[in-house]
Structure 1
C-alpha cells in the first residue's frame, strides 16, 4: 500500500487534468439512463397512448443525450491521453534518474533486459493501474449505482431477480484479482528474460554471425519467448 501512495503523488502534479477527466467520465456516464427512459416513454406515451405528437421531442431528447455523451467521451479521451503521457514521462524520468545514482555493484546482478522492462513495461503498467484503473473504476461504480437505483425505483421484484447472478460475478472478480498477482509476476519474469536475451543477441550479432550460431540462437529465443 505504501508503494501505491508513493506513486499516487504523480497524479497530484496535474489535479486539473485529473478532475476534468473524471468529470467528463461522470457526465458521459449519466447519459446512460436517457436512452432506456426515452424508449420507455415512446412505448408508453406515444405507442400505447396514441400520441404521435410526443414522438419528435423524445427523439430529439435521445439525440441530444447521444451527442452530449459522445462529446464528453471525446473530451475524456483527449484529457486522459494527455494525463497519461505526462505521468509516464515523469515516472520514466524519475526512474532513470534514480537508476543512474545506484552503485555499480547493483548493476552486476541485474540483466540489461530486466532494467529495460522496468523502465518501459513496468512504468506503463503502473500508469494504467493508476489512471485507467481509477477512471474506469469510478465509471463502473457510478453506472452500477445509477442502473440499480432506477431498477429498484421501477420494480423491486424484477430488480432482485435481475441481480440474482450478482454474487457469482463478485466471486469471479475476487478470484481473478487474488490470483492475478502471481500470474503477472510470471509474465513479467518471462518478458524480462526475453528482453535480456534479445539485447544480448543484438549487441553481439557480429559474434553470432561469425560463429554461424543463427539457428541455435533462434531456437534459444523461441524457448525463452514461449515461456
Structure 2
C-alpha cells in the first residue's frame, strides 16, 4: 500500500510546467494540425458574438422601422453564421479527436516498447495490473487533454476576448456595469481551484488505498480463506470503500456549489444590464437593440468560464496520469 500511496502523494499540483512541456513534445509531429485547429478556434470564437450584433441591427434598424426586407436579410445572415459555425465546429472536433488518438497511439507504443526492455527483476517487484493501468487507463486519461483540453482552452479564451471587444465597441459604460461581477467571480474561481485540488488529491489517495487493498487481498485470497478471515477483511474493505465514497462526495460538493454560483453571477449581470441599460433606454441614450445584445453577450460570456473550470478538472487528471506514465518510462531498471 505504501507504494501506491507514495505514488499518489505528488498529485497535489494541478499544473506542472515540466510535465506539460514533455507532453507537448508528443504533439510536435502534428504541429500543423494544432495550428489549423487554433485557426478554426479563432473563427468559431468570432462567429458566436456576431449573432448578438446582428440581433442589435435587426431590432434597431429594421424592426423599429418596420423594414421587412432588411429583417429577412438579417435572418439569412443569422442562419448563415450558425451554419458556418456548425461546419467549422465539425472540422475542429474531428481534427482534435484525430490529433488526440494519434498522440495516444504513439504514447501507448512507446510504453509497451519500453516495458519489453525492462529487466526481469522489475516485473518481480511491480504488480502487472499497475503496468496495464499505465498503458491503458492513464494513457486514456490524457486523451481528453489532447483532444479537448489544450487547444480548446484557446477557444474559450478567444470567445471571452471577442465578446469583450464587441461589448466595449457597442457601449463602454454598460460593459463596465456588466463586468462589475467579475471580482466576485475571480475570487470564487480561485477558491474553487484550491478546494478542488485538495479534494481531488484526497480522492486519489483513497483510490490508491482501495486499489492496494484489492490487489493484495485478491492475490492472497487463498490465505484469507484458509484463516477464515473473510468477515474481518470485508469490514476493513467497507471502511476503505466508505472513505473513498466520502472523498468523492466532497469533491462533487465543490462543483455543485461553483457552477450554480456562476449561474447566479450571470443572472446578477443580466439584472444589472436591465436596470442600468433599461434606464439608459428610457432616457434615450441607449437603444433597445444594444440592450438585447448585451443580455445575449452575458449569457455567452459565462459559458466559456464554466468550460474553463471543466478544463481544470481535465488538467488535474492529465497531470496525475502523465506523472505516473513518465515515472514508468524513466525507469531503466
TM-score between both structures, scaled by the size of structure 1? 0.81
Instruction: Provide the C-alpha distance between the structure 2 equivalents of 1:120 and 1:111, rounded to a whole number of angstroms.
Output: 15
Structure 1 unmatched runs, 5+: none
Q: Which residue matches 1:160?
A: 176
Contact 1:114 1:195 in 2 (8 A): no
Deviating more after overlay: 127-136 vs 196-205: 196-205
Q: 1:167 to 1:119 in 2, by over 3 A?
A: farther
Contact 1:113 1:195 in 2 (8 A): no
Q: Does 1:135 align with 2:165?
A: no
Q: Does 1:77 align with 2:93?
A: yes
Contact 1:95 1:119 in 2 (8 A): yes
Q: Does 1:45 align with 2:51?
A: no
Q: Which residue matches 1:68?
A: 84
Instruction: Provide the C-alpha distance between the structure 1 equivalents of 2:91 and 2:238, rounded to a whole number of angstroms.
Output: 43
Q: 1:83 to 1:197 in 2, by over 3 A?
A: farther
Q: Does 1:97 align with 2:110?
A: no
Describe the SS at the equivalent of 1:53: helix
Deviating more after overlay: 141-150 vs 202-211: 202-211
Deviating more after overlay: 167-176 vs 52-61: 167-176
Shift of 1:114: 4.2
Contact 2:101 2:143 in 1 (8 A): no
- 2:163 alignment partner, one of 107, 128, 147: 147
**Higher relative contact order structure (alpha carbons within 8 Å, sequence separation ≥ 6):** 2
Deviating more after overlay: 87-96 vs 36-45: 87-96
Write out per-residue CA displacement over residues 172-210 of structure 1, whole angstroms, 9 at most, x where no aligned residue: 222333444443333233334444555566667788889
Instruction: Provide the C-alpha distance between the structure 1 equivalents of 2:225 and 2:87, rounded to a whole number of angstroms.
Output: 56
Tell me how many residue pairs correspond in the alignment.
227
Shift of 1:122: 3.0
Q: Does 1:11 align with 2:27?
A: yes
TM-score between both structures, scaled by the size of structure 2? 0.58
Structure 2 unmatched runs, 5+: 1-16, 245-333
